[in-house]
Chains A and B, each alone.
Chain A
Amino acid sequence: MTSKTTPNNKTASNGEYEAAAMMYSASLSLTVFWVLTILKEAFKAINQALNIHKGIGPLLSLFVISMLVLFLAYSPLLGYIKNIKNKSGQVAKAFAFLVVATIVFTLMTAPLFYEPVVDLLK
């Protein structure tokens, strides 16, 4: 693992950046999934656009898009983390982000929580 010296003299390894970038990507992936779920419920056009497989329905698109976000967002996020000035504690920050994103995902995929939002958008 190569190391870089950060402005506040703390060293951060490439591995740390990569770990943090993956956690941010996962958070984004989970968030995109529940946001798209709400949008498909609120707007018929989005539901139809996501309905690429008649048997499975929009769920397949949601899965494919989320997985694409997970892997495609990784490189830009890694580049962003490497370029920001304050590099200390990136792994801890990304972990906190992942915890929040997971809790929000669990709640917002429940119709009890997303239906009121869908009603507002309709």
Chain B
Amino acid sequence: MVWKELLNGLGGLTTREILLDIHGGLAMLSMIFYGGLIATSIYWKKYQTLIDAIKKLWIWQIVVVGALYILGLLMYIPYRAKGGAKSTLVGNETTVWLHKIVFEHKELLALAPLILAIVAYWVVNKIGTDSNQKQLVRRISLFCAVAGLLTLLLVATEAVLVTKVAPVK
């Protein structure tokens, strides 16, 4: 009975709702990758062979964060549409700041994780095995992972703050 109810509920989701869920899922997946990247970048000093894992994780992170950004752009269409979440927020004096300050920042800031992931992969791939640069490469990879994670957390927090008041439908 519960299974039937669940399947009926899932079957009733619109394509947009499914894409929104995937969008949220990708954000969480990228946070797991960031965790892996931070750990591997720290322990790379001790375990030399982690270089291959770091490279692979950065490639996956580019794919995930890239897909996350593109889906975010697509979900921006219903947000900005007439009668959409933006209209709801802008139409009320007490919630206009959520669009003007919070959501605008979220949309703009979201570019940083993608750029940082591309840079980190490139650097690790080009000079990751260079013994003279190893310490610096480790720092670059760690910086890109921590900065990417912090910006993503901020973006996610801002998204929750806004969509709690005006959900994207």
A112 and B140 alpha carbons, distance in the complex (Å): 29
Known A16-B130, A91-B133; judge A29-B77 contact (CB<8 A): no
Is B159 on the interface with A (CB-CB < 8 A)?
no
Known A13-B130, A26-B118; judge A57-B76 contact (CB<8 A): yes
Interface of chain B, main secondary structure = helix
Is B111 on the interface with A (CB-CB < 8 A)?
yes
Interface size in chain B (residues, C-beta < 8 A) = 32
What 0/1 readout, one digit per residue, does chain A (9-43) give for beta carbons within 8 Å of chain B? 00001011011001100100110011001000000
Judge whether A30 and B126 touch: CB under 8 Å. Answer: no
Residue on A with the closest CB to B119? Answer: A26
Is B90 on the interface with A (CB-CB < 8 A)?
no
A75 and B76 alpha carbons, distance in the complex (Å): 33
Judge whether A30 and B111 touch: CB under 8 Å. Answer: yes
- Residue of B123, B130, B133 ringed by the most chain A CB atoms within 10 A: B123
Judge whether A106 and B127 touch: CB under 8 Å. Answer: no
Judge whether B73 and A60 touch: CB under 8 Å. Answer: yes
Closest 8 CB pairs of A and B: A109-B108, A55-B77, A15-B126, A22-B122, A19-B123, A15-B127, A26-B119, A19-B126
A-B contact pairs, 12 of them (CB 8 A): A1-B130, A18-B126, A22-B119, A23-B123, A37-B108, A55-B77, A55-B80, A59-B107, A91-B123, A102-B147, A109-B105, A111-B104
